[in-house]
Amino acid sequence: MPIVIGIGVLALLILIHELGHFLCARLFKIPVEVFSIGFGPPIYEYEGKYTKYRISAIPFGGYVKLFGEEEVPEDVDPELERLAFKNRSYLEKILVVLAGPMANLIFAWILLVVVHMIGIPVLQPVIGEVIKDSPAYMAGLKRGDRIIKIDGRDIDSWDKIAKYIQENPNREISLTILRDNSIVTIKIKPKEEILENIFGEKRKVGIIGIKPLGTVTKKSYPFIKAIEEGTTKFYNIIYLTLKSLVKLIERAIPIGSIGGPIMIVQMAKEQASQGSSQLLFFMSLISVNLGILNLLPIPILDGGHAMIFTIEAILRKQLSQKAKELVSYLGLVIILSIMIIAFYNDLMRLIVR
């Protein structure tokens, strides 16, 4: 059953992606010949009025086949010929190819809003350990102290404590503590230290020498606040995804960290065991990654198609078939290389486990 959930997550994200292409094409009245979830031979097919809907044997992908993507039959009706994808404006072509990744990004944002409405796990701002001879120890902080304000700002999670302290090295701050049903105010100056972040970048941060008690509760937000929190988290995920891509190219992140569909299925299975909000958050994370990766200007990806259409629009003429085939082969080599690395890493993780 957990494996089914993992495959289901991947299939749903692919469905959202292809649905973006499909709906945008239909918006412009471009005929869609095939809408397939998966590649290879179809295991189920339903023939609609205009479109064949398929579930194919290989679930790690999908496609939408538009009428007249490459060539338009010579004996076709003139009205149908006008509607063919090949004969549409460059703007329409670009919007159709970008609609897939944009659908993934919009879906991710909706999921994050829903997650914040359902409730997210929050590490409570309660001190579990005070490190000896640290600024916190010298200031008199104790195990069990609940930090409720920092410099007058309300605190409801440990993350907010860590963020504020790290951003204020060598500056005295005021902590409002709830201790044994009494309110205590403590002044403390975070000590500056040089730490490395997840990308190997060194930065100056403030520390005071405390660790959390480890109590986790679920916090839900009203609709408007959930939109605000979900949108903030959405932008943060996009920023980290883009930065991770840059660091991967710079080799600051090891190539062994790249994962493929096997890792996604396994991680989805693990997240599902931790509750619905964790699974939805993981889905939003993968959906953002799927959207951004498909926006990259690599031939055969959506971003690559958009790049080619943009070049043709600027030149006001179509690239030669030979040029298109050349860039397609280049894109295929890049994508296949990434897929081989991802599958290799997935298999190595399975072997190690």
List all residues 6 or more positions away from 321 whose beta carbon is below 8 Å from its beta carbon: none
What are residue 185's DSSP bridge partners?
176
Tokens standing for residue 185: 């105010």
Selected catalytic residue, list 18, 71, 228, 229: 18
Taking the CA of residue 2 as centre, how many other CA atoms within 13 Å lie in the half-sphere pointing to its CB? 12
Classify residue 169 by its DSSP letter: T
Tokens standing for residue 186: 């403590």
Of 55, 81, 79, 51, which Cα lies nearest the Cα of 65? 51
SS3 148: strand
**DSSP-assigned letters across all residues of 235-258:** HHHHHHHHHHHHHHHTTSS-GGG-
Task: Report the distance separating Cα 283 and Cα 304, nearest Å.
Answer: 25
List all residues 6 or more positions away from 142 whose beta carbon is below 8 Å from its beta carbon: 127, 130, 179
- Is 18 noted as a catalytic residue in this protein? yes
Buried b / exposed e over 87-114, threshold 16 CB at 10 Å, is ebebebbbbbbbbbbbbbbbbbbbbbbb
CB-based contact 165:147 (threshold 8 Å): no
What are residue 175's DSSP bridge partners?
150, 186
Active site residues: 18
